[in-house]
Amino acid sequence: MYSKKVIEHFKNPHNQGQIEKSDAIGQKGNMACGDVMKIYLQIENNIIKDIKFETFGCAAAIAVTSAMTDIAKGKTIDEALAITKDNIVKDLGGLPEPKIHCSMLGIDALREAINNYKNK
């Protein structure tokens, strides 16, 4: 059902945890399933130097957000805002159709964190 890469990210998520002195935090919940995603950013000169996540979420949401943090790290905040679910799903080698919505949880939390940073 899941690609090998999805299972790897789920079993060994990258960038999981908190950033103690983060520059921005974003949190999003999925009303349909009740899962919650929180993203922490450390930003220097508009570049994402570090990114971490915490979640109460399903396997797909964990795997997608783990992959997303790898993609976002080192990007400018505007480049990170342009990351789409298709970028991540492609990077993961696909997701089962019923799990596609899970790919938005991390992206939405990332966008919220960046917008919070911009509005500081």
Provide the binding-site residues for ligand FES, judged by CB under 6 A: 30, 33, 35, 57-58, 60-61, 102, 105
The C-alpha atoms of residue 117 and residue 120 are separated, in whole angstroms, by 5
Other CB atoms within a 10 A radius of the CB of residue 1 amount to 10
For ligand FES, the closer CB: 26 or 57: 57
- Residue identified by tokens 């990210």 is 9
Strand partners, 28: 37
Give yes or no: 58 in active site.
no
Residue tagged active-site, from 33, 74, 78, 90:
33
Give yes or no: 33 in active site.
yes
In the complex, least distance from residue 33 CB atom to ligand FES, rounded to whole angstroms:
3
For ligand FES, the closer CB: 11 or 49: 11
Catalytic positions: 33, 102
